[in-house]
Chains A and B, each alone.
Chain A
Amino acid sequence: MNASPVHTSAAPFQARDEQILWRTTAFSCRTLTPCAVPTGPALLVLGGGLQTRHSWARLEQRLAPHHPVLIPELPPARPRGAPHLDWNDLTDAAVRTLDQLGVAQTAVLGVSSGYPVAYRLAQRHPGRTSHLMLFGASPKPGPRLTALIQEGLHHLHRTDPAAQARTHQAERLVALLTNPAAAAHDLLMRAAAKVLLQHLLAAPHDPLKAYIRDRGALLLQQPLPYGGISGVPALVGVGAYDTTTTVADNRAVAATIRGATFAVFDNCDHLLHMERDADFATLITRFLRSDPTALRGCTTEVLP
């Protein structure tokens, strides 16, 4: 959903792909290394369904000059011809990424359906998690998303639909993951939805099936584990117009993390990392630096 970052001889960081060997398979991890001495912790980025290791170009430009950044492309939960994976498996794959790359401790960023993996990593490995940051998190999928996932599961083994039907599926997914009513009055929300639609239409597969195979199906299986988290500095953020994971949903997740900071961004929906990318990066940077400076257009509070 983003173009590749610029690479020039003066680039402030170096990028390369590593192959992470995990169980009987392998997956790619984009690794970014600052050319200068890092000024903050490493950052593990766990994106959501349909995102790839190349989906974070703008965040890379803002953070990778200062932090080592790891962006694994975790395996799909329902790979063709292989056993299904659950949240614990994906968490194990994320830990394997850290082990293979020799990262003892890292800040963890989990976005959308990357959040259940990030949460479990922090919960089970608090000593390896310097900070936990979650955006677009919900204890369970809402009714509309649940219905779409169930429909997708029902059609999973059918032949891919014709092009016109695939376009319709892509449009339904975009309408569900964004807020068309709010976007009608906001250029960046409309643009983000358009980019997501183009991304889905450019893919060779039925977008709904791809979403279900990647993470969608797993969202029906307790994304938020029991037990909560304590002892890990945490930030949970959401767009004020997010209808996929609402403000209340995100607050509910934040409430399970002792002392979490809860942030609500104005003028954005579930794609806030695209719609307000600079503010998204700034909030992350300030959180990692324990900088309490307020961010315009973003309200924050610290929960008990």
Chain B
Amino acid sequence: MNDDVLATVIDILTTKAGLPPGPVTPTATLQEAGVDSMAAAVLAMILEDDHHLVITETALTAQSTVADLAAFIETQLATRA
């Protein structure tokens, strides 16, 4: 997995979506990381605005861990390319 994507996802969740940074680690489940509907919406909107990637919040929150979430987004970016 591309570490840049993981770093970007963590950065969005903690600096844009307002999640406390402590629990947002690669191995944390999305629940442990505190990813809620607001965080998912922020992430989806940034992916769409900045990366022209449309992914539903449902698809984002279906991932297990933060690392899985980043890997899923990376796959979607690659597919789009």
Contact = CB atoms under 8 A, between A and B. Distances in A.
A57 B19 CA distance: 12
B34 A187 contact: no
Nearest to A271: B38
Given A191-B45, A194-B45, A61 B38 contact: no
A195 B17 CA distance: 13
Interface string A54-84: 0001100100000000000000000000000
Nearest to B41: A191
A274 interface: yes
Interface string B23-61: 100000001101111100110011000000000010001
Contacts of B37: 1-3, 195, 198-199
22 contacts: A2-B36, A2-B37, A3-B35, A3-B36, A3-B61, A4-B31, A6-B23, A6-B31, A6-B32, A58-B38, A61-B20, A187-B45, A187-B46, A190-B45, A191-B17, A191-B38, A192-B38, A192-B41, A195-B38, A199-B37, A277-B38, A278-B18
Contact residues of B: prevailing secondary structure: helix
B38 A274 contact: yes
* Interface size class of chain B, counting residues whose CB lies under 8 Å from the partner chain: 10 to 19
A164 interface: no
Interface of A: 1-6, 8, 57-58, 61, 187-188, 190-192, 194-195, 198-199, 274, 277-278
Contact residues of A: prevailing secondary structure: helix
CB-based closest 6 A-B pairs: A3-B36, A191-B41, A191-B42, A194-B41, A195-B37, A2-B36
Interface in B1-22: 16-18, 20
A6 B45 contact: no
Contact of A61 (B34, B35, B41, B57): B34
A92 B26 CA distance: 47
B38 A2 contact: yes
B36 A57 contact: yes
Contacts of A191: 17, 38, 41-42, 45
Of listed A4, A6, A278, residue having the most chain B CB within 10 A: A6
Nearest to A278: B18
A277 B32 CA distance: 18
B29 to A, nearest CB: 9
Given A8-B32, A61-B20, A187 B38 contact: no
A57 B57 CA distance: 18
Contact of A6 (B16, B34, B42, B46): B34
